[in-house]
């Protein structure tokens, strides 16, 4: 059984446009990865390093669901963690300015930022040196 989860409409679309669901997924995955890498580079340029550290820290120890990949979730997740734990203060970030930057994003850009931030915590090491590499222009795309 495949671990790939898709909706009935997504399965239908893949079967309509490709010889199989697997063939469609294999075609779409590289395109999706390239799209994410491009978007991540743009997002890293839009946000400051302290802002990105705040976003990454706000996504520590969370389980993502596809329903979370929306701008509204990004705003809620980061705002709640900042209010509860003072993450923005720790990194010297003005929360209102960060939220204003978030509001410039569409749902797709927010989804990429959420995935990128949460992915840090699933890497081989989650320490300060690894975080600095992750934030570099070429680090983890």
Min mean pLDDT across 36-45, 52-61, 64-73, 129-138 is at 129-138
The residue written with tokens 């596809």 in the block is: 66
What radius of gyration do the chain's Cα atoms show? 17
Give CA–CA dist 123/81, Å, rounded. 21
**pTM (2 d.p.):** 0.84
- Tell me the per-residue pLDDT of 46-69, one tens digit each, with 9 for 90 and over: 999 999 999 999 999 898 888 889
Backbone angles phi, psi at 7, to 5 degrees: -80, 170
The domain spans of the chain are 38-135
């Amino acid at each position: 059984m495949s671990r790939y989860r898709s909706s009935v409409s997504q399965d239908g679309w893949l079967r309509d446009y490709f010889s199989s669901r697997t063939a469609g997924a294999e075609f779409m995955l590289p395109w999706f990865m390239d799209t994410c890498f491009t978007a991540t580079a743009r997002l890293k340029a839009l946000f400051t390093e302290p802002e990105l550290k705040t976003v990454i820290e706000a996504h520590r120890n969370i389980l993502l669901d596809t329903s979370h990949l929306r701008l509204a979730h990004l705003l809620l997740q980061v705002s709640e963690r900042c209010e509860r734990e003072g993450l923005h203060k720790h990194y010297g970030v003005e929360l209102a300015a960060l939220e204003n930057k978030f509001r410039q994003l569409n749902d797709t850009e927010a989804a990429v930022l959420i995935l990128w931030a949460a992915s840090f915590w699933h890497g081989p090491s989650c320490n300060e040196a690894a975080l600095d590499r992750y934030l570099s222009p070429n680090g983890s795309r």
